[in-house]
Structure 1
Amino acid sequence: MTTTTTPEIAEEPASGRSEPGLTERLDGLDRLVTLGAGRLDEPLLDEAGELLTRAGERLRLSGGHTVVTLAGGTGSGKSSLFNAICGLQLSPTGVRRPMTSQAHACVWGLDGAGPLLDWLAVDKRHRYARASALDRSDSSLQGLVLIDLPDHDSIQAVHRAEVDRFVTVADLLVWVVDPQKYADAALHRNYIVPFAQHADVTLVVLNQVDRLQPGEAEDCVSDLRRLLEAEGLADPRIVTTSTVTEDGVADFREVLVDAVAARRARSRRLIADIDRIAERFVEFRGEAEPPAQIEPRRAARLVEALTDAAGAPAVAEAMESAYELRAVDYVGWPVAKLVDRLRSDPLRKMRLTELREELRGAFTGPVGAQQGDVDNALQGITDGVVTELPPVWARAVRAASRSRAGELPEALGGSLKDALPVFNQVPNWWWLVKTWQYFLVLVTLLGLVWITLLVVYGVAGSGSGSGLFDDAGLIPYVTVLVACTLGMGALTSSACRNLVALSSAKHGERMEAHMRERVGGVAQEKVLDPIAAELADYASFRTAVEEFRPA
């Protein structure tokens, strides 16, 4: 008895073009690999990359040929079935096991088959062609590449490796089993279960049914179908054959004829491979919609922490003090400054020296931005956005937040350096006050000279006593004038210092705000933008997975 299950196969053009949607699926997989690089598990990315390479190579090779592999365990009779389809004794058969130590290939239609067989790495000694006039008259199998594989359960590791290699590249997988070992655990565990999603390109041949009693074949097929379905192989295709009685061989050949005629096995196999790996990407896609960026409150806290790490408040305070001290050179009373110089105040010199050193450091490099302070500022910046992300993407977002941490100290110093010169200018009113003060100094000096002349010519009696320089009676008035100019100078200096004290506080606030703005720019470029880019990649990954995953 023969039992056959064969679904309808729609034809596509003889050119062997890929099935609609295959290119889009490959593009989607390539996008997932690109987005997952450096984030997802390396074995998954490597496997996906290998699939993309293999698919590209297979699509570049002959689309007019369908690669069908006959695989099975020891004694299943796959070589006998191979010879029966070929019509010649091409693959060795016999009692000794294993008989097939290397893959044997029989090709119907030579055009384009050479590069394909080279890619399949079939030894040229084991390549056969059905190209006689008789074969050409029967073109039903034209385009078939039938390959007989070594036993998958061979004691020779090289044989098992050969099987493993071919089952990943065959367009149609044919598993040949016999009534005694169709439930072989090695076959089901190593091949049926891992390739359960390849039902469209998988065929199971129950061979040697001549060994069964009438009615037992149906029971074996039912039990085999139940086993395959339990292992995830949906609607399995099963054919029963016997190479001894040739029962079912013609049916198996018709299945091959349909597969070759449809020219869809290649595309279906690649789509099955893609669907199989697509499910493994789903676990890295979270259900919650990810945020687009760090929330403003956390971003503001980060800027504040980096501002402190860079020492901006200290620089602003130093600039505020420098503002006051420098103002003294313009609005201070020159007479008082002369007295201070005569007294040689070491404290003021020390303060000016320290400020000069602080400002020099501000203009030439980082201002107190130590790596440890920067790392502390970055602590917890991503806590609000990674809570609902899959672990691998949460790690990627955290890594992105610190990806440019080593650049932050220098960048922060540079931002303060750029901010300082904006406020390193002398207000115009300082020049006006300075001019006024020196005018008062000039008046005071002229008054002192006048008093001296009055003393010399008026008091000593050297003059006539009636002029501006020899009338001693003018001395009190000129003295009052000198006293007034001195008082006006001191009063102007005091009033201006009070104004400078008020404006220096505002100056420091403006300085700190300006530096904070520059630090915010650095934080955006070095921390927030990388986080936003990572979140955008994750959002793109979620979309790509949703579009890529099988329906």
Structure 2
Amino acid sequence: MTTSAVPANPPVDSPAGPAPVPADAAPAPALTDRLDGLDRLVRAGAGRLDRPLLDEAGALLERAGQRLKLSGEHTVVTLAGGTGSGKSSLFNAICGLELSPPGMRRPMTSKAHACVWGLDGAGPLLDWLDVDKKHRFARAGAADRADGSLQGLVLIDLPDHDSIQAMHRAEVDRFVTVADLLVWVVDPQKYADASLHRNYIVPFARHTGVTLIVLNQVDRLGPGEIDDCVADLRRLLEAEGLADPRIVTSSAVAEDGVTGFREVLVDTVAARRARTERLSTDIDRVAERFAEHRLDAEPPVTIDDGRRAELVQAFGDAAGAPAVAEAMESAYELRAADFIDWPVTTLVTRLRSDPLRRMRLTELREELRGAFTGPVGAQQGDVDVALHGVAEGVAAELPVHWARSVRMAARSHAAEIPEALGESLRAALPSFNQVPRWWWLVKTWQYFLALVAALGTVWIAVLIAYGVMDAAAPGPLGDAGLIPYIAVLVLCTLGMGRLTTSACRNLVALSSAKHGDRMEDAMREGIARVAREKVIEPIEADLRAYADFRRDVDVALGG
């Protein structure tokens, strides 16, 4: 089989862009749904969950989005291992060329080397992998094109993970997060290397499906020793959390020593599933961390009627709604007195000495009448207590982070609530410039009676004056014999005025009670509106977000 290497400017860098992804290589719809679910989890967790988790999920979303946009015909396989494990020799054996310098000196491979089978669409993928163009190689010979068993493979030889150079370790760390298939090359002497297992095998234990362990250099072992070595390696890996780990043996120097490894690569490339399996495993790992922030119990999505009523009652008490309603009854009665009181009695009262006037407290009457036409408010401390009560009742049914979020939602408008309550009370209060029409009718009637009484009194006085002067009064109305009848008329008008006042006061008392009830109902409607807009709706929005969060966790987990 003829082969060729392109060490400097290989055709893989052609600007043709990614080739169309065949149907069998396209990402399954379930994977895109899971990524969408994970994206919603990140957005829902903003401001609620821990920043490192959101950052890790965000990085995964970005990485997955970029990888899915690139060639689906290529499978990225990384060869990682420690110094002397023979991964570079294994890389060269699979490639059929001396592309990566092997040796026992530390470190030999200082930069990632990539060999590509199949050029179309590989350039953008290698750019995304950030493989130096000097270390990109392509199997582009005629024989290589005829042998399509590895077509679509991007094989990458990484620096040693145990290198003394920090930049080499960083290169390994970067590639193991983006590779479609992770291949860890170990040798019979150092397969239990603590740094490899602690830093890579254990953290990626759940990636068993996209992880392959290659026990290399088995040519140094006898036939019986190979089986013992593989058994011990399997025991160690299973103890570290790898379920049914895949292990193959290889030797870069023995005849057909890499056949088993090559067959795994052929099967992986042919299946075209490594990319989606790797991303699915990454999503599983992150989604399970999100699942820790939900409870099994179905959460409430609304505030129950009992808590709503308690909140409205607490806000009403904080704003003093009952006291305002009671004061409104008194103000209503005082205002009515200006219209229904008998004018004669009012005049006499004003002529008498008024204790309130002597105490310079006459302004209280006017203040009481106008006390409720200005802004009214509530005490912030009472509002805070009410918010704490409703938030704690709901938060008790939620996990810690979401309980904290609900408390924050309940207090999101805390500073605005006292003024909003005052505005709602003021909006419920009537304008004293408008009074019931019957008050005006009563006032007109009372002044009419007062006028009749006054005219009657004047008439009697005129008749008496004419009598004293022994003068004849002009006309029939000047007859002194009319005085008793006029006196009766005056007394009747005075009595009717007092009776009218007494009856109207009873009506006003009944009306003021109903008026106070209506005002209290109107104020409670306004208070309920404030409670709904400023407290209940933000809390319920958080509860709905938590319910969506729980469903999206299932979506991200593939359930």
TM superposition score normalised by structure 2: 0.91
When residues 207 and 238 of structure 1 are mapped into structure 2, their CA distance, relative to the original with a 3 A threshold, is same
Partner of 1:504: 512
TM-superposition CA deviations, 1:341-365 (whole Å, max 9, x none): 444743673223322552232xxx3
- Asked whether 1:394 is paired with 2:403, we answer yes
Letter in 2 for 1:477: Y
Percent identity over paired residues? 73
CA contact (8 A) 2:71 2:125 kept: yes
Write the distance in 2 (CA, Å) between the matches of 1:56 and 1:537. 25
Q: Which among 355, 360, 363 is matched to residue 368 of structure 2?
A: 355
- Secondary structure, aligned partner of 1:141: coil
How many residue pairs match? The answer is: 535
- Asked whether 1:310 is paired with 2:319, we answer yes
Write the distance in 2 (CA, Å) between the matches of 1:311 and 1:344. 35
Partner of 1:166: 175
Task: After TM superposition, give the deviation of residue 417 of structure 1 in Å.
Answer: 2.1
Matches within 5 A, 1:120-139: 120-139=129-148
Letter in 1 for 2:401: V
Letter in 1 for 2:120: D
- Secondary structure, aligned partner of 1:369: coil
CA contact (8 A) 1:171 1:269 kept: yes
The 10-residue stretch of structure 1 (185-194 or 289-298) with the greater mean CA deviation from structure 2: 289-298
Partner of 2:53: 44
Write the distance in 2 (CA, Å) between the matches of 1:183 and 1:421. 86
Matches within 5 A, 1:363-382: 365=375, 367-382=376-391
Write the distance in 2 (CA, Å) between the matches of 1:46 and 1:538. 20
- Secondary structure, aligned partner of 1:106: strand
- Asked whether 1:540 is paired with 2:548, we answer yes
Write the distance in 2 (CA, Å) between the matches of 1:411 and 1:465. 72
Partner of 2:8: none
Partner of 1:255: 264
Partner of 1:485: 493
- Secondary structure, aligned partner of 1:111: coil
Write the distance in 2 (CA, Å) between the matches of 1:374 and 1:436. 49
CA contact (8 A) 1:290 1:535 kept: yes
- Secondary structure, aligned partner of 1:474: helix
CA contact (8 A) 1:423 1:511 kept: no
- Secondary structure, aligned partner of 2:244: coil
Write the distance in 2 (CA, Å) between the matches of 1:353 and 1:326. 10
Query: Where in structure 2 are there 5+ consecutive unaligned residues?
Result: 1-20
Partner of 1:5: none
TM-superposition CA deviations, 1:398-429 (whole Å, max 9, x none): 22221222221222122112211389742232
Partner of 1:181: 190
> Alpha carbon RMSD of aligned pairs, Å?
2.1
Letter in 2 for 1:472: A
CA contact (8 A) 1:465 1:472 kept: no
When residues 78 and 464 of structure 1 are mapped into structure 2, their CA distance, relative to the original with a 3 A threshold, is closer
TM-superposition CA deviations, 1:368-422 (whole Å, max 9, x none): 3132221122122133333342211222222222122222122212211221138
The 10-residue stretch of structure 1 (347-356 or 89-98) with the greater mean CA deviation from structure 2: 347-356
Matches within 5 A, 1:453-472: 453-463=462-472, 467-469=476-478, 471-472=479-480
Partner of 1:273: 282
Write the distance in 1 (CA, Å) between the matches of 2:513 and 2:384. 31
Task: After TM superposition, give the deviation of residue 36 of structure 1 in Å.
Answer: 2.4
Letter in 2 for 1:320: E
- Secondary structure, aligned partner of 2:362: helix
CA contact (8 A) 1:72 1:152 kept: yes
The 10-residue stretch of structure 1 (72-81 or 476-485) with the greater mean CA deviation from structure 2: 476-485
Write the distance in 1 (CA, Å) between the matches of 2:405 and 2:79. 45
Matches within 5 A, 1:191-206: 191-206=200-215
Partner of 1:8: none
Letter in 1 for 2:450: V
Letter in 2 for 1:149: L
Matches within 5 A, 1:208-287: 208-287=217-296
Query: Where in structure 1 are there 5+ consecutive unaligned residues?
Result: 1-11
- Secondary structure, aligned partner of 1:175: strand
TM superposition score normalised by structure 1: 0.92
